[in-house]
Amino acid sequence: MSLVFVILAVAGVAAVLCLMTGRDRLVYIIPLLLAFECRVRLGAVSFDLSELTVVFAMSVWLLDPGDEKRLDVANRVSTNGVLIALLGVFALPSVFLEDHFLHSVSTYRDLMVPFVFLFCFLKAGIDLPQLRKLVVAACCLILFNAILGIIQFKTGNYLWFANEDEMDWQVYKIGLVKISLLGEFLGIKDALPAGLYSGTNNFGLYLTIPLCICGTVVLSRNFARRERVFCLLASATLFVCLVLTIFRSGLLVYFTSILAIYLFVTPRFRQVRLIAVLLIAATFAVFFLSQGVFDFDSFGTFSARQGMLSDAWTLIKSHPEVLLAGGFTDLYHQQFRQEQEIHNLMLYAIVKYGLLATLCFYCIVGFALWRAVRAVKTSVGPERDILLSLTVSLSANVFLCGLSTMIIDSVQTTIWLLFWLGITIHLTTWLDFQKAEAMETRSIPLASWDHAVSYGN
């Protein structure tokens, strides 16, 4: 059955390509490839169909943009090419230090493919209308997944892309959730939603960023009423599906993000908003910390996650050479008999790839988000609000969800994360370009006004 869906997916992408001409439409294949998760196995070799996003991003980059303004902005986009190259160099020694060489090669490829995609995506020179359409397309596709996920939860069927390990994990997790307070409230049945993805927790991670974008549109006054009504309905659907995944880190990311967005989306009634945010945050903290509400399994409790962190820190102290090149995940599992990977992004990346590669990753993300924060502070309009939602939700995913989840352990989830980071960098660059263009317009003589207007259009 999975082979049938692989054939259908490839045929669908090919059909879309036949209908599309030129770089302007080719870029929309990227969110389509990220709307489902399917791994193709060819003998001993396997790859995820989402890796084809590299091909399409590179094709869009290499095709001539044509427009002078777009070329100007494309040259200003920060590609972080040096940091990406350093990440590849610093993470490479870990391949030779793990016990299972072929698996470590595959893991290294899964790490680098998303960053190659990011580099090509940033080089593509995407304009503002395309960015808007990419955001809408990605959110609509994940909304479709959310609707399918709710149907999966209600019927227990249509889990087409969930792998065997995920189904076994669901059986274990559902058995524990059913006897918890949350499970009794939700009426857990025989399946958790996964959409068109292989795992429920991965699916929950995909829901958080579009959910924050839709929530921002609802809260903002810079969008038309029909857009806000549609996003309100979409937010309700996405939120229901996120709750049904029982992905606790995703729920924490969403509540933290939407409260921050609610506080900063508009300067009006800032004190009233702050009081409301504190009350809601306190209420959520009570539920989150209450025994039996969210910590219903042996892996998800705070003590179990603390055990993973303590074991990883003990390994680093006893083997400081791990800081140089990583490659110690096999030893971590053998020495501490942990059944899961380290559920902390920083420690997971250090033990797996080394400290220098980990710092490169955080610098790539951190520099982009820092520039986005500065652009949000000095911009207005709907693009500013979308950039605000992306900045907050990406920060929450990396620096908050990353405290209890290793969000870069899958090539699909990493490409999804870097896709939104690429959108963020593009939006930041366009907003900065518009501000610089406006300042130049104010400073030119009146006789040159017509020339400036024609260039801006």
Nearest to residue 347, comparing CAs of 307, 384, 397, 381? 307
Instruction: Provide the number of structural domains found in the chain.
Output: 1
> Is 58 within the bounds of a domain?
no
By the 8 A CB rule, do 135 and 437 touch?
no
pLDDT tens, position by position, 365-419: 999 999 999 998 888 888 999 999 999 999 999 998 888 888 888 899 999 999 9
Phi-psi region of 66 (alpha: psi -120 to 50; beta: other; left: phi over 0): left
Is 43 within the bounds of a domain?
no
Specify if 116 maps to a domain: yes
Q: Is 347 helix (H, G, I), strand (E, B) or coil?
A: helix
Q: Are 411 and 113 in contact (CB under 8 A)?
A: yes
Could you tell me the two tokens for 361? 């990753």
**Where do runs of H (alpha helix) occur along 124-188?**
128-155, 164-178, 181-186
Tell me the average pLDDT of the chain.
80
Domain annotation covers residue 311 = yes
Could you tell me if residue 435 is inside a domain? no
* pLDDT tens track for 305-322: 777 788 888 888 888 888
Residue 273 lies in a domain: yes
The one-letter amino acid code at 233 reads: L
Please write the tens of the pLDDT for every residue from 145-163: 999 999 998 888 888 887 7
**Considering the entire predicted model, what is its pTM?**
0.86
Both structure tokens of 172: 């274990």
Q: Quick one: which H or E segment has residue 346?
A: helix 345-353
Q: Which residue has the tokens 């609802």?
A: 218
Residue 128 domain flag: yes
How far apart are alpha carbons 359 and 324 in whole angstroms? 12
For residue 332, give both structure tokens.
């971590």
Strand partners, 48: 39
Reading the block at residue 431, the tokens are: 């907003």
Domain that holds residue 165: 77-425
In a domain, 452, yes or no: no
Compute φ and ψ for 78, nearest 5 degrees.
Answer: -80, 110
pLDDT at 232 (0 to 100): 94
Q: What is the DSSP string of 104-137?
A: HHHHHHHHHHHHHHHHHHHHT---HHHHHHHHHH
